[in-house]
Amino acid sequence: MLSLGLSITSPAVLSTGVSHDPAANALFAALTGSYSDELKTAFEAAIVAMKDNNIWDKIDVLYPFAAIPGVDAANASDSLLNWKSPGTFTALQVNSPSHGNGYWAGDGVSSRLRTQWTPSTNAVNYTTNLASAACWIKNDVTLNAPDIGNVILPRLNITGRYGAGGALTQINNGTNVITATANSIGLLMAQRISASEVVNFKNGVELGRNAATAATGVPTQEQWILGGNASQFSPRQIMLAWWGDALIGKEATLYSIFQTLFTAAGTI
């Protein structure tokens, strides 16, 4: 059985990609690879769980790379889909990032993914005073380079583990929020919960907060994955990225949903 009361076998999803949920059907219609009925059921279960827990409608863009196992061309293409609205804001490869089983990785020099999504232009749920962004990192690398986001003010970025050893985030301003973490592995989330307060989470558990980080606006730069601007690139392996509204009180639930999904896919 999946966690959160979700069964891997119910609701059933047929090999034709027919499900009971319209968002899952939109995803199935966009997929080009071949996936088992069991994995399609896990896709739908994750979407339904996010809806049931009032998370789905708070997300703007969602890239769960680790939901798609395998390394062939169809799997790589499918993994770049924005699950919130397949066919819009599909991630684009720049300078040949590498695709592994459930992740994308940069070379630390120039490779990255473009989301085509800019908060100031495209955000619906992500706002100045209520916002969240997250990435799930597969490997442990200590380096001061953003894993997702932008570094032009007002900034939004997440660095899994920077030079001094802590997780570093900035969200809707230029202030670093640094919280201790033993490594860069796991789901790191930056969440702005008010005009002045930012909280960092890892795997659904609070790492720390700063109540004196005044918001100055939403980013006007397109959000990147595996980097933040033309001179900062990450070599970490990214399994998931998303942007949206603050998910206050739902951090552990969301982590559990994706942990279950990625386990079903065999990528964690």
Q: Kindly report the CATH number assigned to the domain that includes residue 247.
A: 2.60.120.200
What string of pLDDT tens digits covers the 268 residues of the chain?
344 444 333 455 554 555 689 999 999 999 999 999 999 999 999 999 999 999 999 999 999 999 999 999 999 999 999 999 999 999 999 999 999 999 999 999 999 999 999 999 999 999 999 999 999 999 999 999 999 999 999 999 999 999 888 999 999 999 999 999 999 999 999 999 999 999 999 999 999 999 999 999 999 999 999 999 888 999 999 999 999 999 999 999 999 999 999 999 999 9
Decide if 131 is inside a domain: yes
Decide if 21 is inside a domain: no
Name the packing angle between helices 251-265 and 37-52 (round to 10°).
Answer: 180
Decide if 74 is inside a domain: yes
pTM for this predicted structure: 0.93
Decide if 92 is inside a domain: yes
Decide if 19 is inside a domain: no
Q: Which domain holds residue 226?
A: 58-265
What pLDDT, on the 0 to 100 scale, is given for residue 18? 56
| The total number of structural domains that make up the chain | 1
Under DSSP, is residue 121 helix (H, G, I), strand (E, B) or coil? helix
Decide if 210 is inside a domain: yes
Decide if 257 is inside a domain: yes
Under DSSP, is residue 22 helix (H, G, I), strand (E, B) or coil? helix
CB-CB contact of 157 with 149 (8 Å): yes
Q: Which residues contact 183 (CB under 8 A, 6 or more apart)?
A: 140, 161
Q: How far apart are the first and last CA of the chain?
A: 17
